[in-house]
Amino acid sequence: MSVILTSVRGADGWWLPSAGAAAAWIRARLRPGQRLAVRGLPSPDLAALIQGAWAAGVCLVPISHRLPAEAAAQLARRAKADLVLFDGVPSFPADADPRTADPGTDSHDPQTLGLLLFTSGTTGEPKAVRLSRRALRASAAAACLRLELTRDDHWCACLPLDHIGGIATLLRAHLTGFTVHLHARFDTTAVGADLLGAGDVRITGTSLVPTMLQRLMVADVPWPAAMRVLLIGGGPLDLRLAQRSLELGVAPCQTYGLSECASQVCTLAPDEAPAGLGTAGTPVAGMEVSLSLAGAIRVRGSSLMDGYEDFGDGAHPFDADGWFTTGDLGAFDAAGRLSVLGRTDEVIITGGEKVSPFVVEALLEQHPQIAEAGVHGEPDPEWGQRVCVVLVARGQPLNDDELRDVFSRLADFQRPKRWRWVAALPRTALGKLQRQRLPSAL
């Protein structure tokens, strides 16, 4: 089960009961602007440390606990951390008395760094994203506004606290005071029990990646009657999953976000979610989105990063008008809602035709016997590249003739030339497809 963290009102927002003790511990060791690298499983003490660092004006450098020790140490060195906590987070006593629990007024320069966050590295070496306090606060405020979060909400928090989605939850709680139900990791049974609630406590919202949602749907976990915000991000959402969730009473609030924008860029509002199913909604407050001539998603606004740390000529990847071009492809519908179509560096060019792996995957996964599809291109002497797919079956795998019949519903240039059935696709801990590992499965 989760640990319930009830926020306490302070002079500058709401704080977890242990945040004051954590801020005092940090202030005894670091000055504002210095860097604290931390690595560990989500816990009340780690959550307090994150809020305590915010109160103390220290730049937090969260590093994934899933990385090997030497790889984590290398990232801490790259970040030039002034203090490293890799062997456990101190224990901070909880204090529910508002007179003593308040860690202090937030009077730090909003332009200083609040977070140095390493990307997942799924497309190469992890980049260190420089997020100012201004950007982090703007992102949290925009999310609270779009999702209509209030003091009365109870949020099931099961994302890692080294991920922007997990950290953003704590910053939103700081602004609104909602109650956090913290999980050390995602476990279908534990999260399902949390959603069902106990006594008078009812979960009203949660953040999940599509893989987590799929596991809850497979386990037939019912949505609680009080649930109003089902925030889904971190990757493409299977439309069948979204529809299944809607049938159970809650339409997913799909979001498009990235570390470079401190979390959300576009998000479906709860009341818009049924009509916008399959899209990521419109830009949140303070953010703008446009498309390049090639269809690449461009973003700018109040939540945008300052740039990348230690990245040479690529440290400030903005054009003269302040636009940051992401690696994602998108399209807008008539209502201005954004759909994400895949990544620019994953487009397959075969015989002069461009093939989006995401589009092919979505079409294949509509078949009831195909649970997952991972599409990639491989060199071809005649066509330049050929389309290949790695498949996960739902039940009995289709035979080759049946599969060719499924492929016939695609345009001829989209049809896979090679395929293989496997037990599972390679994914990151948060469920993102590791497309660069697909060729080894063939």
61-120 pLDDT, tens digit each: 999 988 888 989 999 999 999 999 998 899 999 876 766 677 876 678 999 999 999 987
Mean pLDDT of the region 402-408: 95
251-269 pLDDT, tens digit each: 999 999 999 999 999 999 9
Residue with the larger pLDDT of the pair 97 and 175? 175
Residue with the larger pLDDT of the pair 196 and 426? 426
Please tell me the predicted confidence (pLDDT) of residue 238.
81
Please tell me the predicted confidence (pLDDT) of residue 123.
53
Please tell me the predicted confidence (pLDDT) of residue 124.
61
Mean pLDDT of the region 405-424: 93
Can you give 161-229 as a three-state secondary structure string? CCCHHHHHHHHHHHHHCCEEEECCCCCHHHHHHHHHCECCECCCEEEECHHHHHHHHHCCCCCCCCCCE
Q: pTM of the predicted model, to two decimals?
A: 0.86
- Quickly count: other Cβ atoms within 10 Å of residue 70's Cβ: 7
- Listed residue (248, 249, 241) closest to 208, CA to CA: 241
Residue 285 has pLDDT above 90, yes or no: yes
Apex 170 CA angle, 236 and 281, nearest 5: 35
- Quickly count: other Cβ atoms within 10 Å of residue 251's Cβ: 21
Please tell me the predicted confidence (pLDDT) of residue 430.
75
Mean pLDDT of the region 161-185: 96
19-30 pLDDT, tens digit each: 999 999 999 999
Distance, CA of 20 to chain centre: 28
Please tell me the predicted confidence (pLDDT) of residue 98.
66
Mean pLDDT of the region 203-229: 91
Amino acid at 62: P
> What is the residue-wise DSSP string for 10-60?
ETTEEE-TTHHHHHHHHHTT--TT-EEEE-----HHHHHHHHHHHHHTPEE
Q: Round to whole Å and give the CA distance between 60 and 198.
A: 34
Please tell me the predicted confidence (pLDDT) of residue 121.
61
When mean pLDDT is compared across 202-211, 347-356, 416-425, the lowest value belongs to 347-356
Please tell me the predicted confidence (pLDDT) of residue 192.
92
Taken in order of first residue, the domains within the chain and their CATH numbers are 3-341 (3.40.50.12780), 347-441 (3.30.300.30)
When mean pLDDT is compared across 55-59, 161-165, 222-226, the lowest value belongs to 222-226
Average per-residue pLDDT for the chain: 92
Percent over 70 (pLDDT), the chain = 97
- Select the highest-mean-pLDDT range: 103-107, 198-202, 427-431: 427-431
Cα 394 to Cα 84, 370, 438: the distances in Å are 45, 5, 19
Strand partners, 339: 331
When mean pLDDT is compared across 118-127, 232-241, 281-290, 338-347, the lowest value belongs to 118-127
Amino acid at 422: V
Residue 341 has pLDDT above 60, yes or no: yes
> What is the residue-wise DSSP string for 264-317?
EEEE--TTTTTTTTTS--EEPTTEEEEE-TT-EEEEEETT---EEET-GGGSS-
Please tell me the predicted confidence (pLDDT) of residue 187.
94
